[in-house]
Amino acid sequence: MGINDNIESIEKEQIKHLHFPHKEVLSDKRSKRDRYRKLVRGLSLGNLEHLKVKIVFADDEGAKKVETTIWGITDKSVILKQSTIIPVERIISVN
């Protein structure tokens, strides 16, 4: 049993209906750098090889996971298909 087994899987289309608090989910600088590095890698995988990544994130109700293609990254947001956005500060992990 893995750590992500109890995390609710959702479809990317549901993300736009979620509420995201303005609070960082990661506590240390190293974890934040690692998250950003993995987001950039996921962006490259999506654009070059059309591969999806698994993103674990937290909304106001708890942790969720989605398997999707990353279309873009800004300082504050990860952009998915159909202009769906997840705040970077709410992303727990990217695989």
- Position 38 in a domain: yes
Residue 4 has a pLDDT of: 54
What CATH number did the domain enclosing 84 receive?
Answer: 2.30.30
Examine residue 2 and state whether it is found in any structural domain, yes or no: no
- Average pLDDT, rounded, for the chain: 93
Residue 1 lies in a domain: no
Q: Give tens-digit pLDDT for 68-93.
A: 999 999 999 999 988 899 999 999 99
Q: What does R_g of the chain's alpha carbons equal in angstroms?
A: 12
Mind listing the pLDDT tens digit for each residue in 31-56? Answer: 999 999 999 999 999 888 889 999 99
Per the structure, the complete domain to which residue 25 belongs is given by 8-94
Residue 74: exposure state from Cβ atoms within 10 A (0-12, 13-18, ≥19) = exposed
Is 46 inside any structural domain?
yes
Phi–psi pair at 30, nearest 5 degrees: -65, -45
- Distance separating alpha carbons of residues 46 and 18, to the nearest angstrom: 24
pTM of the predicted model as reported, rounded to 2 decimal places: 0.91
| Domains in the chain, number | 1
